[in-house]
Amino acid sequence: MYSLAKRCGAEFFGTFWLVLGGCGAAVLAAGFPELGIGFAGVALAFGLTVLTMAFAVGHISGGHFNPAVTVGLVAGGRFPAKEILPYVIAQVLGAIVAAAVLACIASGKLGFDLKGSHFAANGYGAYSPGKYSMVSALVTEVVLTAGFIFVILGATSKRAPAGFAGIPIGLALTLIHLISIPVTNTSVNPARSTGPALFVGGWALEQLWLFWVAPIVGAIVGAIAYRLVSDPALERA
């Protein structure tokens, strides 16, 4: 097994790539006149970041890139609780550095206003892309994170085909974004939410609590659901 420092380093770079790739697609490419990639393109970008980094460093750290995934894996009996904090710190730092790089790039466009832009931050109510309520946002983030953890636990089971877990996990994240970008701009990842929120400030920081609470609750729910349908003895076989 790799040392904790190396595993946290892998989590840092994996989360950096997720935020830079996914949020970068949203900020730089989604609304570009005539050639913009739109919601579908942003959803695919997020899925591709997880898919590529799962194969690049998943063998080092497990490829969490998300505090909710780390918590869900602990709840699912796949990860030691004592390592939650260092993993989460590495993930959040990776997200913040990625948001800083993205802010630097985006600020090079004439007329770009970081504080006045959405900057791929997550929100509800007036700050939801589709103006969905806080309750809608809460339900969306809990349910979709639960589904994400369910897929992750199933795809990484010892009973699943070996070496292919990154594919269904990346596709699951793409599907999640296709569903929920209009509702919350899609979080299911507290680190991903924290990076942009720190640069937007104001409303984004005020609403950030939901994008920590809901994904973590959802992750625990998803882990419990998977444990109800799986057989621990077979999972370890």
The overall average pLDDT reported for the chain is 95
CATH code of the region 4-229: 1.20.1080.10
162-200 tens-digit pLDDT: 889 999 999 999 999 999 999 999 999 999 999 999 999
Name the residue ranges covered by the structural domains of the chain: 4-229
Better pLDDT: 115 or 183: 183
Reported confidence tier of residue 112, pLDDT bands at 50, 70, 90: confident
Identify the residue with better confidence: 21 or 115.
21
SS (HEC) of the chain? CCCHHHHHHHHHHHHHHHHHHHHHHHHHHCCCCCCCCHHHHHHHHHHHHHHHHHHHHHHHHCCCCCHHHHHHHHHCCCCCHHHHHHHHHHHHHHHHHHHHHHHHHHCCCCCCCCCCCCCCCCCCHHHCCCCCCHHHHHHHHHHHHHHHHHHHHHHCCCCCCCCCCHHHHHHHHHHHHHHHHHHHCCCCCHHHHHHHHHHHCCHHHHCCCHHHHHHHHHHHHHHHHHHHHCCHHHHHC
User: Which pLDDT tens digit goes with each residue over 47-70?
Assistant: 999 999 999 999 999 999 999 999
The per-residue pLDDT for 236 is: 56
Residue 135 region, left (φ>0) first, then alpha (ψ -120 to 50), else beta?
A: alpha
Summarised one tens digit per residue, pLDDT across range 193-237 is: 999 999 999 999 999 999 999 999 999 999 999 999 998 767 655
